[in-house]
Chains A and B, each alone.
Chain A
């Protein structure tokens, strides 16, 4: 900490953006499942997809302060778009992914004009309402979406014409992990950009921003659109790796679950969503079994415990712990 007084301002800012060894270790560890858990690669790919979704929510919630209960709308839009593309003959994964992201982004851009205008309860309810509306629309348009039965007949071609989606999930995991990493790099760049600084300003004190001449609403629209694109990527990945899409990809449960994961891991730290997703999904896989009530009970207790004792999530708690070790 004292070294900061000697560093130049540029150097200090550069140091903030530098890759921490723990980060490098984290990403190296994501390669471990290939050797350590080869039977769980399908689960691992699902975790990577969910982590990507959580990351997209962190950008709007943790960095810009937009509390959204309808973020799954973009996940579902990406999923259905990619699924429909494959169903109607175009099974090429990468372009399907881009298409899904694009559709989610366009809808996100349109929605951002509404979302950026509201705060507090009105914002929460508007995002919830828009999400619920989309679910109802998807349900009624069952000729397109398959309704309650889900989208059938999604057949993916091999990636780069060489890597087939196999039963063991090797291709799926590699694909999902690569997408996650690339989007993560993008998110990291955004956070360390002048735009990222403005977002943190909006989150820290929304009143001060217009007093600095900042166009807060335009900034919020931008990040909301970017987050929609990222969520669309995650959704498209789900459609492509599982070759199925259902209404729950758009639903309230998915929006709520990802919120829980993000809180668990800690918002505004970029890795919070990733850590939260890993813990949540692994726990759910182990514990939910045939009694979903059991799962709900423990998630409920966990939420209460996190709010009471770990208000900044697990990463926040770890940060405090390491800070106190450093001081001691």
Chain B
């Protein structure tokens, strides 16, 4: 069975600045992978390369075994490769119902129809509402997006992505900026994602990472440093050095609890 998403030998440089070097990874179907690394490691760049916002200098990308390296971004989405954005990229003047209905209509090719009322497409509207309810946005779905609290907007980011019926979902820092009291809903939503979707998420929030990831990829300076199970990564000295700098005696206390040696997690 071919991987849901795979890359091979992906390179990208801006002049003398190398942002991606020989990136090779494989995302099996139903995966829950995390991509971590310090700021500037090239994580979002990798997502941009995968989704087609950036063209690689070398290498190839395959979706479900089929090459997509030459395809424009919208076409990749239509084939099931979908992302969310680190900074909310929503429609401020539309409400969630309108936004998700828009996504569903686009998916089903209904968006060209300028002569039909949108209310004629009950199926699309119902599906949009159902998605929003699953993401606990049902009560807010009539308020304009710009009026929603940040955590709710973050959920809408995911709702929009889900409306496209993705096979592969790339979440770019889904928990970023979400206040503590709103993050529980987010966690529930991510936990509830269908096992038919392969998920790769970038995160800095280690609680999130160790809760959901079955495998972790560590990126530093445009390269993949390590890849492994959460236990392996937590124990890896190279990873610890990356997150701490020099390994010093008293530094063990600065480590996130999950990274401390002998910690229990999962």
Contact = CB atoms under 8 A, between A and B. Distances in A.
Chain A in direct contact with chain B (Cβ < 8 angstroms)? yes
B106 A198 contact: yes
Interface string B122-155: 1011101100000000010110000000000000
Contacts of A215: 74
A14 B77 CA distance: 30
B125 A208 contact: no
A301 interface: no
B123 to A, nearest CB: 10
Given A189-B115, A214-B106, A9 B128 contact: yes
Contacts of A13: 97-98, 101, 118-119, 125
A193 B118 contact: yes
A287 interface: no
B113 interface: yes
A193 B115 contact: yes
Contacts of B82: 211
Contact of A211 (B51, B94, B117): B51
B164 A213 contact: yes
B118 A196 contact: yes
A30 B118 CA distance: 29
B194 interface: no
A213 B142 contact: no
A198 B160 CA distance: 13
Interface string B16-58: 0000000000000000000000000000000000010000000
A47 B129 CA distance: 43
Contacts of B89: 205, 207-208, 211
B18 to A, nearest CB: 26
Given A17-B119, A193-B116, A205-B92, A212 B164 contact: yes
Contact of A192 (B73, B107, B111, B117): B117
A87 interface: no
Nearest to B132: A9
Interface centre among A189, A197, A209, A215 (most CB of B within 10 A): A197
B121 interface: yes
A195 B139 contact: no
A192 B119 CA distance: 8
A61 to B, nearest CB: 15
Given A211-B82, A212-B164, A4 B103 contact: no
A146 interface: no
A174 interface: no
Contacts of A5: 139, 142
A52 to B, nearest CB: 18
A226 B114 CA distance: 10
Contacts of B113: 193-195
A12 interface: yes
A82 B126 CA distance: 47
A162 B164 CA distance: 56
Nearest to B124: A194
Contact of A205 (B78, B90, B111, B141): B90
Nearest to A217: B74
B224 interface: no
A218 B119 CA distance: 23
Interface string B77-100: 110001101000111111001110
Given A189-B115, A201-B102, A208-B90, 8 more contacts: A9-B141, A13-B118, A193-B113, A193-B118, A194-B113, A205-B90, A213-B106, A226-B114
Interface of A: 4-5, 9-10, 12-14, 17, 189-190, 192-198, 200-201, 204-205, 207-216, 218-219, 222-223, 226
Interface of B: 51, 72-75, 77-78, 82-83, 85, 89-94, 97-99, 101-103, 105-107, 110-119, 121-122, 124-126, 128-129, 139, 141-142, 160, 163-164
11 contacts: A13-B101, A13-B118, A193-B114, A197-B94, A211-B89, A213-B78, A213-B107, A215-B74, A219-B111, A222-B114, A226-B114
